[in-house]
Amino acid sequence: MPKETMTETTVKKTAAKKPAAATKKVEGQVFSHYQNMYRDTVHAHLMKELGLKNVHEVPKIKKIVLNMGVVEAVTDNKILNSVQEELSLIAGQKAVQTRAKKSIAGFKIRQGMKLGVKVTLRKRRMYEFLERLVNIALPRVRDFRGLSPRSFDPQGNYSFGIKEHIVFPEINYDAISKIRGLDVTICIESGSKEHSLALLKAFYMPIGG
């Protein structure tokens, strides 16, 4: 019998036992479907597939950071408030406004000026966002051809951009003033880029290569 590996078929069979939006309550805590999948299936299969001997070596997602730059905030700070609300809807958690770290005279940017919004997701909300990203948002991207396998940093974190934030169903196209881009950084506790890639593919992230 061939060595058991993390295959799409294996994971999908497990995932099919629960509806996509399912949650599970354990000892007073509510876990998302993807959170359950990692604990019940992905973790064990990655340990075997990657040949790991210590359970603490198995890669795991620590947090997901979403960021949106708002250049118009230089002349109209009110726009920043509406974008903050939009990112909060996408994340399911209140976003915060970010400030410029240094002054750039050519762009009339002063140090400390509010120029964007971001939100950091952890635990259940992190997994819930990842599930919506993979199953709803990315499939709605126009002419989507998959994510690049070259977007890992040396620590194994993965970053990519989405050109149109309207791919998220939480955004009402008729209620926004402008279609904006969104940067996503998935911070992973991992021993290598290869381990991080295996983890994201176990969650069906459409990464090529």
Q: What is the average pLDDT score of the chain?
A: 83
Angle, helix 78-91 to helix 123-132, in steps of 10 degrees? 90
Q: Is this model's pTM higher than 0.85 or not?
A: no
CB 17 within 8 A of CB 37: no
Q: What is the pLDDT of residue 199?
A: 97
Q: What digits encode the pLDDT tens for the residues 29-83?
A: 556 799 999 999 999 999 999 999 999 999 999 999 999 988 776 666 778 889 9
Q: What is the pLDDT of residue 92?
A: 94
Confidence of residue 177 (pLDDT cuts 50, 70, 90): confident
Show the CA angle centred on residue 5, arms to residues 8 and 138, nearest 5°. Answer: 30
Start-end of CATH 3.30.1440.10 domains in the chain: 60-202
Three-state SS annotation for 31-61: EEHHHHHHHHHHHHHHHHHCCCCCHHHCCEE
Confidence of residue 23 (pLDDT cuts 50, 70, 90): very low
Q: What is the pLDDT of residue 75?
A: 66
Evaluate if residue 147 carries a pLDDT over 90.
Answer: yes
Q: What is the pLDDT of residue 110?
A: 61
Q: What is the pLDDT of residue 128?
A: 96
Q: Collect all residues with Cβ–Cβ distance below 8 Å to 57 and sequence separation of at least 6.
A: 47, 50, 191
Half-sphere exposure of 98 (CA within 13 A, CB side): 19
Q: What is the pLDDT of residue 5?
A: 42
CB 94 within 8 A of CB 119: yes
Q: What is the pLDDT of residue 8?
A: 42
CA 175 and chain centroid, separation: 24
Q: What digits encode the pLDDT tens for the residues 75-132?
A: 667 788 899 999 999 999 999 988 766 566 565 566 666 778 999 999 999 999 999 9
> How is domain 60-202 classified at the CATH fold level?
50s Ribosomal Protein L5; Chain: A, (3.30.1440)
Return the percentage of the chain with pLDDT > 90, whole number: 62
Of 10-14, 46-50, 163-167, 198-202, give the lowest mean pLDDT range.
Answer: 10-14
Rounded alpha-carbon distances, angstroms, from residue 168 to 38, 90, 110, 184? 23, 7, 32, 13
